[in-house]
């Protein structure tokens, strides 16, 4: 089974959104999965960090400024990370600029048979 979540969200000036995917259908992993995170921003100044079940997968990483929904595979931030069933998928985004920016994201989850 494969699932995809995709959306965009405005991040206020000098603000942090601790989880841009809150409220999405699969904000908790529906099965043991291998995931890929793709993202872009409306301008330079955004950083994103991926956490799974409270464990950091990436450090805060600068987001490219394509001002559009992510294109697969061009806009990958991190790939092939493990997400155990039921764990919270959290993408934190920080806007380091003096103006609101839009963060565009996509997460693909593919069912995997790994040991927890």
pTM: 0.94
- Write the pLDDT tens digit of every residue in 103-115: 999 999 999 976 6
Render the burial of 56-94: b for 16+ CB within 10 Å, e for the rest: ebeeeeebeebeeebeeeebbbbeebbbeeebebbbbbb
**Would you identify the CATH topology of the domain 2-111?**
Jelly Rolls (2.60.120)
Every domain of the chain and the residues it spans:
2-111
Instruction: Return the pLDDT at 79.
Output: 97
Note the pLDDT tens digit of each residue in 8-63: 999 999 999 999 999 999 999 999 999 999 999 999 999 999 999 999 999 999 99
């Amino acid at each position: 089974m494969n699932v995809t979540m995709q959306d965009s969200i405005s991040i206020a000036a000098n603000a942090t959104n601790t989880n841009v995917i809150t409220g999405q259908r699969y904000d908790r992993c529906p099965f043991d999965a291998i995931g890929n995170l793709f993202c872009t921003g409306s301008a330079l100044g955004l950083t994103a960090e991926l956490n799974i079940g409270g464990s950091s997968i990436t450090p805060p990483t600068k987001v490219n400024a394509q001002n559009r929904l992510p294109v697969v595979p061009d806009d990958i931030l991190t790939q092939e990370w493990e997400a155990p069933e039921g764990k919270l998928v959290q993408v934190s985004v920080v806007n380091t600029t003096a103006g609101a920016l839009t963060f565009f994201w996509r997460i693909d989850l593919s069912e995997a048979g790994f040991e927890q």
